[in-house]
């Protein structure tokens, strides 16, 4: 894939149960199902309402992307990279989808803070082979 940035294949090396952690945070019952594209859409809204986008750590110069730091963002929020990693891990764990984190904006000389120099998004391959953003 063009602009390939990150693969989820070996990222969760501590085998965190992402579904369990997110369901607990969102107060969802274990029988809440995410099986279809519509379910992903609904879950993404729950995700957005419950885990804040936060630049506090980034503006303080904290720029970590290891699994422990990413998991800590469930409670405190994070920048687009950490939030997209969490969501991508969820899609991979729950649906077994192939998910990629990709660059969507290149670094610009106009960025005030270096860490804000790029934005990322998830691309996943659905069961029919189609790619979704």
Q: What's the CA gap between 83 and 67, in Å, rounded? A: 12
CA distances 116 to 44, 49, 61, 119, Å, are: 23, 22, 11, 7
Kindly report the average pLDDT of the chain as a whole number. 85
CATH of domain 4-132: 3.30.2140.20
Please report, for the chain, the start and end positions of each structural domain, with discontinuous segments joined by +. Answer: 4-132
pLDDT at 22 > cutoff 90 = yes
Residue pLDDT, tens place only, 31-79: 999 999 999 999 999 999 999 988 777 666 666 778 998 999 999 998 8
DSSP, residue by residue, 76-97: H-B-HHHHHHHHHHHHHHHH--
Q: How far apart are CA 96 and CA 64, in angstroms?
A: 26
Residue 1 pLDDT exceeds 50 = no
Residue 2 φ then ψ, to 5° = -65, 150
Nearest-angstrom CA–CA distance, 73 and 121: 17
Question: What would the two tokens of residue 24 be?
Answer: 């607990």
């Amino acid at each position: 894939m063009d602009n390939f940035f990150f693969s989820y294949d070996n990222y969760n090396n501590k085998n965190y149960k992402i579904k369990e952690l997110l369901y607990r945070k969102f107060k969802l019952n274990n029988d809440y199902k995410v099986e279809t594209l519509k379910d992903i859409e609904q879950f993404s809204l729950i995700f957005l309402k419950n885990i804040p986008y936060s630049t506090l750590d980034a503006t303080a110069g904290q720029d970590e992307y290891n699994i422990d730091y990413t998991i800590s963002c469930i409670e405190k929020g994070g920048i687009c990279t950490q939030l997209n990693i969490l969501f991508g891990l969820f899609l991979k764990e729950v649906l077994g989808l192939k998910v990629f984190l990709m660059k969507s904006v290149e670094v610009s000389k106009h960025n005030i803070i270096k860490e804000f120099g790029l934005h990322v998004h998830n691309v996943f391959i659905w069961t029919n082979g189609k790619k979704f953003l």
